[in-house]
């Protein structure tokens, strides 16, 4: 039965290989095409290079990992038309710190020093400029693209135990992590895509009329033996369930291998699995959208990037973590006309641009979507500004290790 279903769906998807584009209608499309220029002004603090450029010089690998948005956002703002050199007219203040640019020899960014770096930078700006102190950061934003944002840990139970760094509680967090009703997501945070190298993906584009001959595609870890030897935490078991249920299913092209044809394969697939890992998100979400592969999002309560601009319900498929064993039934039951409409929406160039951090920047890209998010939070509420002598934040709260000098 499954072989017949896959044959019919693949034949349908390949019947007209010329990609059609569907206009993104309604409020999502309108927001996606907003122009933030003229709606806000951002002041960029000038910090000593030890907080940013020196870290990058020490390890250029930071430019290519999935947390690199913190670097490219800094570069973008330095030449952005929303930048102001007069802090008195600024709507927002940005502190350029690269806390994820601290890599292990194998290239993994570990967040453990990040709280100390953040505290040090905030002490610096609050001592040298008056703007932090009048709001305790409520008109400041920080890019914190760790697994669990400003909770600064890659394991969820440890991240929850830590909570958001106390000094960032009033700031707006621009972060890849997003999960509803979670201690690591502040109300008002701006959820962004992880970084995926635009030029690298562009170099692997294949002809748009190539048939989509793969039904379900996934490459990646199913178990993280090194960090979770007992298998109790990683992906909350969802990835393990994918492997255990579908490793021998002909509909599923899944493996731990990462072939050189990875990007090309995604462009030949109808569905691309985007399961949670340590955090709810991964770069596969960006890659799937860019390559027109319908993202199958397996991450309960995820808050998706730019959710007020991108119609995720219309372009993706959502599968509850507990329903992973029924993935084959769920996907083969989707009507061909629904699949086709999702593909037409994914073919819209504005959708792809919103997921990327290109250099140079382009209208409607992820940089602009972040600015759109900041502009929509203006004007600041009166509660943003403290009364004389007023205080909200406790500088000495948090784990003892975070209080050490950086």
Residue 345 has pLDDT above 80, yes or no: yes
370-379 pLDDT, tens digit each: 999 999 999 9
pLDDT at position 7: 57
Q: Is the pLDDT of residue 189 over 90?
A: yes
Q: DSSP label at 84?
A: -
And the tokens for 187? 């109300």
Strand partners, 273: 296
* Contact (CB, 8 A) for 138 and 380: yes
6 — pLDDT class (breaks 50, 70, 90) = low
Q: State how far the Cα of 43 lies from the Cα of 400, in Å rounded to an integer.
A: 32
Location of structure tokens 């021998």: 248
334, burial (CB in 10 Å: exposed 0-12, middle 13-18, buried 19+): middle
CA atoms of 132 and 155, how far apart (whole Å): 31
Average pLDDT, the chain: 92
Q: Who's near 284: CB < 8 A, 6+ residues apart?
A: 218, 220, 272, 273, 274, 295
DSSP, residue by residue, 312-374: HHHH-EE--GGGGGGHHHHHHTS-HHHHHHHHHHHT-HHHHHTT---SS--TTSHHHHHHHHH
Q: How far apart are CA 106 and CA 1, in angstroms?
A: 45
Q: Please report which confidence band the pLDDT of residue 107 belongs to, taking 50, 70 and 90 as the band edges.
A: confident
Q: What is the pLDDT of residues 134-175, one digit of tens each?
A: 999 999 999 999 999 999 998 888 999 999 999 999 999 999
pTM attached to this predicted model: 0.92
Distance CA 96, CA 72 (A): 10
Average pLDDT over residues 91-99: 97
Task: Give strand pairing partners of 318.
Answer: 297
In this prediction, residue 155 carries a pLDDT of: 84
Distance CA 370, CA 356 (A): 11
Segment 56-78 mean pLDDT: 95
Of 39, 35, 90, nearest to 367 by C-alpha is 35
Give the C-alpha distances (Å, rounded to integers) separating 54 from 51, 106, 123, 168.
Answer: 7, 20, 19, 24
Q: E strand or H helix at 142, and its extent?
A: strand 140-143
Question: Would you give the DSSP letter of residue 43?
Answer: E
Ramachandran class of 181: left when φ > 0, alpha when ψ lies in -120 to 50, beta otherwise: left
Tens of pLDDT along 280-335? 988 999 999 999 999 999 999 999 999 989 999 999 999 999 999 999 999 999 99
Q: Are strands 317-318 and 269-275 parallel, antiparallel or unpaired?
A: unpaired
Give residue 59's region: left, alpha or beta (phi > 0; psi -120 to 50). beta
pLDDT in tens, 389-401: 888 999 989 888 8
In sequence order, what E strands does 19-86 have?
42-44
d(CA 315, CA 341): 8
**Percentage of the residues of the chain whose pLDDT score is greater than 90:** 78
Residue 18: closest CA among 349, 290, 344: 344
């Amino acid at each position: 039965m499954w072989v017949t279903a896959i044959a019919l769906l693949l034949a349908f998807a390949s019947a007209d290989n010329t990609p059609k584009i569907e206009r993104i209608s309604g409020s999502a499309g309108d927001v996606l095409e907003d122009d933030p220029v003229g709606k806000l002004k951002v002041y960029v603090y000038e910090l000593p290079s030890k907080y940013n450029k020196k870290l990058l010089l020490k390890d250029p690998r930071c430019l290519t990992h999935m947390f690199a948005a913190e670097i490219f956002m800094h570069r973008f703002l330095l030449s952005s038309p929303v930048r102001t050199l007069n802090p008195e007219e600024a709507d927002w203040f940005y502190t350029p710190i690269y806390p994820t640019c601290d890599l292990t020899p194998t290239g993994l960014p570990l967040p453990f020093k990040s709280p100390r770096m953040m505290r040090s930078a905030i002490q610096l700006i609050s001592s040298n400029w008056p703007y932090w102190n009048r709001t305790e950061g409520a008109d400041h934003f920080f890019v914190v693209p760790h697994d669990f944002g400003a909770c600064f840990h890659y394991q969820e139970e440890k991240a929850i135990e830590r909570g958001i760094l106390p000094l960032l509680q009033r700031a707006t967090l621009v972060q890849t992590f997003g999960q509803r009703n979670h201690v690591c997501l502040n109300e008002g945070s701006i959820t962004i895509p992880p970084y995926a190298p635009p030029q690298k993906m562009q170099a692997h584009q294949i002809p748009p009329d190539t048939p989509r001959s793969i039904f379900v595609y996934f490459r990646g870890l199913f178990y993280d033996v090194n960090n979770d030897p007992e298998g109790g935490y990683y992906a909350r078991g969802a990835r393990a369930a994918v492997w255990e249920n579908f490793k021998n299913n002909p509909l599923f092209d899944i493996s731990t291998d990462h072939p050189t044809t990875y990007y090309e394969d995604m462009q030949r697939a109808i569905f691309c699995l985007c399961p949670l890992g340590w955090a709810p998100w991964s770069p596969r979400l960006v890659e799937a959208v860019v390559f027109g592969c319908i993202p199958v999002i397996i991450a309960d309560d995820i808050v998706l990037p730019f959710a007020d601009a991108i119609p995720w319900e219309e372009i993706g498929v959502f599968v509850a973590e507990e329903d992973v064993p029924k993935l084959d039934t769920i996907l083969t039951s989707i009507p061909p006309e629904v699949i086709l409409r999702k593909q037409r929406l994914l073919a819209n160039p504005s959708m792809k641009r919103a997921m990327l951090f290109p250099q140079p920047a382009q209208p409607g890209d992820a940089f602009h979507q972040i600015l759109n998010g900041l502009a929509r939070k203006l004007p600041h509420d009166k509660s943003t500004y403290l009364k004389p002598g007023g205080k909200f934040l406790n500088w000495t709260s948090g784990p003892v290790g975070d209080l050490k000098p950086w």
